[in-house]
């Protein structure tokens, strides 16, 4: 069966020579699904009524004849804000019913008046027939005296003030002659005229009563404000997009991003890749927010499940899938900038100490995770420096505080030199680059092969004391290389998942998934203000 959009003036059709679109059936009557209980049953009835009112306008068939509304009505994706209807329980969502490009069928007030007049004429005609038939005898054998209006003293009857009518002898009243009898100047004519006047006045009264109400405009305004306040509270409880509009403090607390504009920018960049179906409990924004809250606050999945009214398994599944989407879309946020860009924006502290030759500051940071049960894995991940199971990452920042490099994770026992050699860091170096590093980075031979230079603090070695010139050089290095520690601290503070003990369940597939989390957090930090002063 070919699907046609039932919206008035919409020409969408599921055919070969038409554009490919999604079509959604008008909600069915709640009575056909008795297994559903309140409040879902009430939502379905309200939703179906709203859909039909949007489609038909005031041309909606009578509710006493539900069979007049076809069960195979379809609405195309053009009439929804997000291209598809929302879930049944999202009654405040703009896509709970079609709202875009709606042109409802309208019946003019003249047509409505004509319909009422026809209904009244039919009713008046029926009443007239009944009045005339009661006034004329139905007994075919009855022959009464013919009494006219001119006879002042009719025989065998008392005189009264009431008017009389002619009794047609030996003839039944039919539809044709009924109106001729009542058309004379008799009580039938007066009765018809009176009933017509009363009927018109009754209709007018009914019309006026239908619009009368005890609620004043002030009460309506008060109710509107109350409804708006309740909708705002519901939005806050459900953590919808409206809750964060103009509330940068909430954005910073829940996501770590500095403003709502940046949050919306990132969401719009990834929302097309977040999947939502009719069975989805959360919107795209809520799935995105759940993932950001997990990265930012490191909440338990049970906590997130209670906040978003889903199961714990659903919260975990949404986090795992959304992290992959965010990583694939935002991974280019960590990149190595051009040398000319670095030198043109060099902070004064670096320029005074080392000129404009410093390209990157490197260091390693470690993240704790749960103790492994496998003895081999336990030995490989044990850090002699932290005395715990860790993953080690090599990070590089520009003099401006921008994270320009993040490596994959290494076991905790790996040295700084090993992490540098096994990563892709050396591939980014250009001849003449100067690298600031800590004492543990004994990588002179590797860096020199790239025609670059590494600057590290001096060693005492066999000397009893470091020379004054070496002390001054070490002080200059320490004053600027401390910025990489500040960036690492900011990274852990903004996204506390990196500062907590990671469950072993996240370290699957050679900890590739957790590498994506670390890389994603570095990308998000680059959207924030730098911790390095430019002066």
CATH code of the domain covering residue 474: 3.30.420
Q: What is the dihedral of CA 333, 338, 344, 346, to 10 degrees?
A: 60
| 365 and 420 part of one domain | yes
Residues 6+ apart with CB under 8 A from 61: 68, 69
CA distances from 97 to 47, 50, 70, 75, 366 (A): 7, 7, 18, 10, 51
Q: Are residues 362 and 323 in the same domain?
A: no
Q: Output the DSSP codes for 315-356.
A: HHHHHHHHHHHHHHHHGGGS----HHHHHHT--HHHHHHHTT
CA 297, CA 310: separation in Å to the nearest integer?
A: 19
Whether residue 254 sits in one domain with residue 345: no
Q: Are 382 and 431 in contact (CB under 8 A)?
A: no
Q: Give the residues across from 23 on adjacent strands.
A: 76
| Tokens 């939005």 -> residue | 235
Q: Is residue 3 part of a domain?
A: yes
Could you give the number of structural domains in the chain? 4
320 and 395 within one domain: no
- Judge if 320 and 338 occupy the same domain: no
Q: Does residue 150 sit within a domain?
A: no
Please check whether residue 480 lies inside any domain of the structure.
Answer: yes
Both 441 and 486 in one domain: the answer is yes
First to last CA, the chain: 71
- What pLDDT does residue 384 have? 79
Q: Verify that 324 and 370 share a domain, yes or no.
A: no
For position 203, what pLDDT does the model report? Answer: 52
Residue 152: inside a domain: no
Cα separation, 120 vs 45, whole angstroms: 33
- DSSP structure class, residue 387: T
Per-residue confidence in pLDDT tens, the chain, 535 aa: 678 888 878 888 887 767 788 888 888 776 655 555 566 777 888 888 888 888 887 666 555 444 567 777 888 988 888 888 988 888 888 888 898 888 766 655 555 555 556 655 666 566 655 655 554 444 444 444 444 444 444 444 444 443 443 444 444 444 444 444 444 444 444 555 555 555 555 555 554 444 556 677 787 888 888 888 787 666 556 678 888 998 999 999 999 999 999 999 999 999 999 999 888 889 999 999 999 999 999 999 999 999 998 999 999 999 999 999 999 999 999 999 998 999 888 988 888 888 888 899 999 999 998 887 777 767 777 887 888 889 999 999 999 999 999 999 998 888 999 999 999 999 999 998 999 998 888 898 999 999 999 998 876 666 667 777 777 888 888 888 889 999 999 999 999 999 988 888 777 766 889 999 999 999 999 999 998 887 6
- Is residue 182 in some structural domain? yes
pLDDT of 264: 95
In a shared domain, residues 358 and 378 = yes
Shared-domain flag, residues 496 and 519: yes
* Per-residue pLDDT at 219: 79
Q: Confirm whether 446 is domain-assigned.
A: yes
Bridge partners for 395 per DSSP: 363, 406
CA-based max dimension of the chain: 156
Are the beta carbons of 531 and 486 closer than 8 angstroms? yes
Which ranges in 345-430 belong to alpha helices (H)? Answer: 348-354, 375-380, 416-422
- End-of-domain residue from the set 332, 348, 364: 332
Domain membership flag for residue 230 = no
**CA torsion angle for 337, 338, 339, 342 (degrees, to 10)?**
-50
* Residues 287, 381 within the same domain: no
Q: What is the per-residue pLDDT for 238? A: 66
- At residue 198, the pLDDT reads 54
Answer whether residue 253 is part of any domain: yes
Q: What is the DSSP letter of 58?
A: G
Which stretch of DSSP H or E encloses residue 25? strand 23-25
Q: Are residues 448 and 510 in the same domain?
A: yes
Kindly state the helix (H) or strand (E) to which residue 94 belongs, with its residue range. none
Picking from 332, 361, 388, the residue at the C-terminal end of a domain is 332
Containing structural domain, residue 415: 334-526
Do 69 and 170 sit in the same domain of this protein?
no
- The residue from 273, 307, 332 where one domain ends is 332
């Amino acid at each position: 069966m070919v699907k046609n959009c039932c919206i008035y003036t919409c020409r969408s059709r599921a055919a070969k020579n038409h554009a490919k679109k999604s079509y959604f059936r008008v909600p069915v009557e709640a009575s056909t699904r008795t297994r559903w209980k309140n409040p879902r049953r009430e939502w379905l009835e309200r939703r179906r009524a709203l859909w039909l009112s949007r489609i038909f306008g005031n041309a909606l068939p009578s509710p006493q004849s539900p069979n007049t509304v076809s069960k195979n009505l379809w609405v195309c994706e053009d009439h929804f804000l997000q291209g598809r209807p929302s879930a049944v329980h999202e009654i405040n969502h703009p896509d709970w019913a079609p709202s875009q490009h709606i042109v409802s069928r309208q019946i003019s007030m003249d047509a409505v008046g004509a319909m009422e007049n026809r209904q009244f004429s039919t009713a008046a005609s029926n009443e007239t027939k009944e009045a005339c038939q009661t006034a004329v005898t139905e007994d075919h054998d009855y022959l009464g005296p013919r009494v006219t209006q001119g006879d002042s003293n009719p025989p065998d009857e008392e005189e009264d003030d009431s008017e009389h009518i002619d009794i047609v002898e030996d003839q039944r009243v039919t539809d044709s002659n009924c109106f001729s009898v009542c058309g004379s100047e008799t009580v039938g004519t007066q009765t018809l005229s009176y009933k017509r006047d009363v009927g018109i006045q009754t209709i007018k009264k009914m019309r006026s009563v239908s619009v009368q109400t005890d609620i004043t405009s002030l009460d309506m305004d008060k109710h509107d404000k109350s409804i708006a306040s309740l909708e705002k509270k519901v939005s806050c409880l459900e953590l919808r997009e409206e809750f964060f509009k103009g509330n940068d403090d909430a954005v910073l607390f829940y996501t770590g991003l500095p403003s709502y504009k940046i949050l919306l920018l990132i969401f719009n960049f990834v929302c097309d890749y977040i999947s939502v179906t009719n069975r989805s409990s959360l919107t795209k924004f809520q799935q995105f927010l759940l993932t950001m809250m997990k990265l930012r606050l490191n909440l338990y999945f049970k906590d997130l499940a209670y906040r978003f009214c889903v199961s714990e398994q659903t919260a975990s599944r949404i986090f795992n899938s959304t992290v992959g989407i965010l990583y694939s879309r935002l991974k280019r946020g960590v990149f190595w900038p051009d040398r000319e860009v670095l030198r043109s924006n060099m902070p004064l502290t670096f320029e005074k100490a080392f000129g404009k030759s410093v390209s990157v500051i490197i260091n390693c940071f470690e993240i704790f995770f749960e103790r492994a049960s496998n003895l081999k894995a336990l030995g490989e991940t044990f850090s002699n420096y932290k005395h715990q199971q860790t993953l080690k990452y090599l990070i590089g920042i520009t003099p401006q505080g921008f994270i320009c490099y993040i490596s994959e994770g290494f076991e905790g026992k790996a040295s700084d030199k090993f992490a540098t050699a096994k990563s892709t860091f050396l591939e980014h170096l250009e001849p003449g680059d100067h690298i600031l590093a800590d004492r543990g980075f004994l990588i002179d031979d590797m860096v020199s092969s790239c025609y670059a230079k590494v600057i590290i603090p001096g060693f005492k070695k066999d000397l009893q004391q470091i020379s004054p010139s070496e002390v001054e050089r070490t002080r200059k290095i320490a004053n600027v290389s401390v910025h990489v520690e500040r960036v690492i601290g900011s990274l852990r503070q903004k996204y506390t998942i990196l500062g907590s003990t990671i469950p072993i369940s996240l370290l699957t597939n050679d900890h590739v998934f957790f590498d994506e989390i670390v890389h994603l957090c570095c990308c998000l930090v680059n959207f924030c203000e730098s911790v390095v002063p430019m002066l």
